[in-house]
């Protein structure tokens, strides 16, 4: 499954790169030719971004299919992190000259990936009726650090884009600002769901209460769904002009 997801990510990245090249060259995608594509890739950071991303995704595929035993998990983590962090050289962070913005964006992406990845694993276990209450409790402690990183880096990213002091009148009718409010609202909902899992549902599951397994499954599914919704909103935020 991981290999297939990496191949899909590579294909999507290639399509995105072609769309970006066509836009930068001021032509329709159907009119894009190889010399133009090569010229744009050589003259912009997009070429290096795609080289790093596709190489990292190829490493994910290799680590997923080659029997590396104990080295598989670290190899997947490193290659996946490199592929994910290549995003910081595109969008708002890519347009910024501030190194702090890019570092914050990278940490933000990694923390979000850790949270959603853990939820995906817990959801898969819950759907098999094979949940591990102790693992959930251990991740709850890690989750506190993840949330702190998300809040801190999210604040840095927002200030790097909006500027300080924030010109509130500039963003009063901004679609970017409206989507940011929606994202923050969903993040608060996600925090509430995570808190409910940690303090109410997981203890009930560990004590073997009737129906706790089903409640846990629904709660993890809800938290994961909200997380995916945030990812969709973030994708839209990355291509919007904050002041438009």
Peptide bond into 165 cis (omega under 30): yes
**Whole-prediction pTM:** 0.90
- pLDDT at residue 187 above 90? yes
CB 83 within 8 A of CB 231: no
pLDDT of amino acid 90: 85
- Predicted confidence band at 243 (pLDDT cuts at 50, 70, 90)? confident
What are the residue ranges spanned by the domains of the chain?
A: 1-89, 98-244
- pLDDT at residue 96 above 80? no
Rounded distance between C-alpha atoms, residue 122 and residue 142, angstroms: 14
**Separation of CA 100 from chain center:** 19
pLDDT of amino acid 162: 80
- pLDDT at residue 237 above 80? yes
- pLDDT at residue 91 above 80? no
């Amino acid at each position: 499954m991981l290999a297939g997801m990496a191949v899909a990510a590579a294909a999507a990245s290639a399509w995105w790169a072609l769309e970006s090249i066509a836009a930068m060259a001021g032509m329709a995608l159907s009119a894009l030719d190889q010399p133009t594509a090569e010229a744009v890739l050589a003259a912009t950071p997009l070429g290096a971004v795609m080289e790093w991303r596709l190489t990292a995704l190829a490493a994910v595929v290799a680590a997923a299919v080659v029997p590396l035993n104990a080295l598989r998990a670290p190899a997947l983590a490193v290659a996946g992190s490199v592929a994910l962090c290549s995003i910081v050289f595109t969008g708002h962070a890519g347009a910024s000259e501030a190194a702090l913005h890019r570092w914050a964006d990278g940490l933000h992406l990694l923390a979000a990936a850790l949270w959603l990845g853990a939820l995906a694993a817990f959801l898969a276990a819950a759907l098999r009726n094979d949940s591990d209450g102790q693992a959930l409790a251990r991740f709850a402690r890690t989750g506190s650090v993840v949330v702190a990183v998300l809040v801190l880096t999210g604040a840095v990213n927002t200030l790097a884009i909006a500027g300080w002091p924030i010109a509130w009148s500039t963003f009063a009718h901004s679609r970017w600002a409206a989507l940011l409010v929606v994202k923050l609202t969903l993040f608060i909902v996600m925090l509430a769901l995570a808190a409910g899992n940690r303090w109410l549902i997981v203890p009930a599951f560990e004590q073997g209460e009737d129906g706790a397994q089903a409640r846990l499954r629904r709660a993890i599914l809800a938290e994961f769904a909200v997380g995916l919704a945030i990812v969709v909103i973030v994708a839209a935020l990355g291509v919007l002009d904050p002041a438009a």
